Structure 1
Amino acid sequence: MSKKKRVNIIGAGVIGLTTGLVLQRNGYQVKIIAEHWPGDFDINYTSPWAGAYVRPEPKLDEKGRKLEEVSYKTLWSLSYMNDTGVIRIPTFDMYTYDLQIDGEPWLKGIYHKFQVIPKDKLPKGAEYGLSYVTVSMDVPKYLRWLLSQFTNAGGKTKKIHLNHLNDAFEPDVDIIVNCSGINARTLGGVNDDKVFPTRGQLVAVWAPHVKAAKFLLSQKDNTRTYIIPREDGIVILGGTMDVNEYDGTPDPKTAESILNRCAELCPELHQGKGLSSLQIIRHIVGLRPSRKGGIRLEAEISKNSAGNNVVICHNYGHGSYGYSRSWGSAMEVLELIGSANQAEISKL
């Protein structure tokens, strides 16, 4: 019986955990090494702060479609399990401009109960709309589930701060997978200056009566307003897209704007009692790991300190779509390192 190839994954956000679980389940011996883990809260650890639902982009290239389709189908299956924190929710996406999509949107036939909303059924000011059933995630519960599934499958963990990619090299490690997220900008050996933060501010409120997600993209002021119900009765209200902003402190005026916009989009939010009646659970600020040119999802061959070839695969730069492309990108990593290993074998 051949020895399992050893993989070290950098990062324990949703991308690192999902990638680790996929690889561990597919015959690799995986260890995730990271400073921050589910249960930790740090501005540079993005996953705990996310709104976390699957809202597909109506206009996507083939690669993006594949990542989202794989993730959506996998998360849909997880929504039938009680301990994942994943639930199914009806969703309504609206835009204040016509998207000018020729023919049927690519989402048709993939997303459950998908349809283009007739223009006469849209609220005032909206020019295009979609409805479908998607999934949302109770973030703390879902991250804990990923980690427990990973360790139950035999995966290993190591809590450590990494300054350089070389810190992930260990004896007998064959593959490094870099899922460092926003930290890819400063991690030695990567130093990707295409990575930048997109600050997002959210408000979590108690509103168990809200069962559907809503999203409105306004072209006039470039605001994104959204309502995302979770399993536990908390509803996430958003949001902002503040490019190259690092401040982790919630801004009261921004929070007020989010609440007002969300109440206008979803009047049932406060059940006619006014915004002051809403129970605010917490204010949230996170840094999305955005990247010029999109996700870096590629493999390369490098040398370790002993002069042996090691496969390095990168999987970061997901921006707002970490959760909705997590399973698709993890499966892509599985294919990439398989192809890289085969290419090395063919040279022998």
Structure 2
Amino acid sequence: MSKKYATVIGAGVSGLTTAVLLQEAYEVTILAKNFPGELRGEYASPWAGAHWRSDAKLEDARQQDFDRKTFIHFWDLGHNKSFETGIMIVDGFDYWDKHPPSDWKEPWFKDLCPGYRHLKKEELPKGVEFGTTYKTITISPPKYLIYLMKCFRINGGSTKRASLSHIKEAIFDNTDVVINCSGLGSKSLRGVQDQDVYSASGQTILVQLPVGHVNWTFGRYAAGRTDGGTHRKNEVLTYVVPRDNGEVVLGGTYGQHDYSITPDADIANDIIARCISTRPDLLPKGETKLKIIRHGVGLRPVRKNGIRIETEWTQSEQTGKKILICHNYGHGGYGWQSSYGASMHVIETLKRAYDKQFIAKI
């Protein structure tokens, strides 16, 4: 039986991961405005930190499943040094300015991430009352995106640069399936126009440090944040995420409904001060200033009701053939840490849609 043909809209981490997984059963073409190696404000994936720290709530089994599968996948890649993935296994730290209340519950991933434990008082940074540590992974987005694209091309995938105005423009004469991984574009893409989608901007600073100097990542939560997972409008976030080439990302901000990609100098100075005050060992011994590579602002593709992974049928205007569309967008700031698991769910969702159609014909 010949393979079916699929078109994937978008070449971010969600689009590329989905495209590679689809290649087991489909001939795949990626349509995108931006591709790996490019750095534009609306292309969210390259601007990410990125590291794995699940924000899934205890009652959110679906998000936990996405994040768990992704952690296991990244963990395996991190141990395979033959692949140029940009993945590192590091010590992760979560810091809280104030001690959580007595009814606080441990995060769901305490039994997934090796070495999870509470920090001792003497291990806590100045101004921090509580903390946890565990093994996790960080990813260099530019390198990992290029790795995915290489896998995609080796498997015979094709690409086409395109700026779509309607989702049906992704349907060609041989198309059977369209996967919409357009991220923030799903708000304006005709045929989708999901008004629950919005931007949450994040300002970061990329600095250069000696390779191996920073072998840890951390996130610091202000007073009032006990779960590390519910963002407030225009929230200040403090985090450090290292990459395998010595680059380190300092963050950040969370500006809901903010579409500006222009860095603010005062915010940048505040980010640096917050990161160094939390972990003074960020600076190499004898150094007083960080070597800044660039300032940037990324636009997280948030969706009010969470990730949308669901199918719908449409009809090709060229051939009259029924086309299956599957959406995969709305990942917000957790697109990287859920990328593999969410893309696996896309494959499963496609299969269920075809099985349902087959049963309906009997």
Task: Report the TM-score, using the length of structure 1 for normalisation.
Answer: 0.94
State yes or no: 1:134 paired with 2:136. Answer: yes
Give the deviation of 1:118 after TM superposition.
4.8
Give the deviation of 1:101 after TM superposition.
5.9
**Alignment partners' CA distance in 2, 1:296 and 1:345:** 24
Letter paired with 2:355:
Q
State yes or no: 1:262 paired with 2:260. Answer: no
State yes or no: 1:246 paired with 2:248. Answer: no
Match of residue 70 from structure 1: 69
Match of residue 215 from structure 1: 219
Give the deviation of 1:99 after TM superposition.
6.4
Task: Choose 105-114 or 250-259, whichever is displaced more.
Answer: 105-114
**Alignment partners' CA distance in 2, 1:242 and 1:290:** 11
Percent identity reads 38
**Alignment partners' CA distance in 2, 1:130 and 1:22:** 34
Unaligned runs of 5+ in 2: 225-233
**Alignment partners' CA distance in 1, 2:20 and 2:197:** 25
**Alignment partners' CA distance in 2, 1:196 and 1:100:** 35
**Alignment partners' CA distance in 2, 1:319 and 1:105:** 20
2:167 to 165, 168, 175: 165
1:44 to 38, 42, 50: 42
Structure 1 vs Structure 2 CA RMSD = 1.8
Q: Is the 8 A contact 2:4 2:176 kept in 1?
A: yes
Give the deviation of 1:284 after TM superposition.
1.4
Match of residue 245 from structure 2: 232
Matches within 5 A, 1:190-201: 190-201=192-203
State yes or no: 1:85 paired with 2:106. Answer: no
Match of residue 10 from structure 1: 9
Give the deviation of 1:238 after TM superposition.
0.3
**Alignment partners' CA distance in 2, 1:190 and 1:248:** 24
Give the number of equivalent residue pairs. 345
**Alignment partners' CA distance in 2, 1:235 and 1:116:** 25
**Alignment partners' CA distance in 2, 1:90 and 1:267:** 16
Give the deviation of 1:55 after TM superposition.
1.2
State yes or no: 1:19 paired with 2:18. Answer: yes
Give the deviation of 1:121 after TM superposition.
4.7
Give CA deviations for 1:57-100 in whole Å, capped at 9, x if unaligned.
26341011000000000011111233111111111011234166
**Alignment partners' CA distance in 2, 1:293 and 1:111:** 27
Match of residue 308 from structure 2: 296
**Alignment partners' CA distance in 1, 2:199 and 2:214:** 30
Give the deviation of 1:35 after TM superposition.
1.2
Match of residue 327 from structure 2: 314
State yes or no: 1:285 paired with 2:287. Answer: no
**Alignment partners' CA distance in 2, 1:22 and 1:347:** 27
Give the deviation of 1:219 after TM superposition.
3.1
SS for the counterpart of 1:254 is helix
**Alignment partners' CA distance in 1, 2:167 and 2:102:** 44
Give CA deviations for 1:303-344 in whole Å, capped at 9, x if unaligned.
221332211110001010111000010000000001111111
Task: Choose 87-96 or 10-19, whichever is displaced more.
Answer: 87-96
Question: Structure 1 85/193 Cα, relative in aligned 2: closer, same or farther at 3 Å?
Answer: same
Question: Structure 1 105/175 Cα, relative in aligned 2: closer, same or farther at 3 Å?
Answer: same
Give the deviation of 1:53 after TM superposition.
0.9
Letter paired with 2:301:
P
Match of residue 94 from structure 1: 95
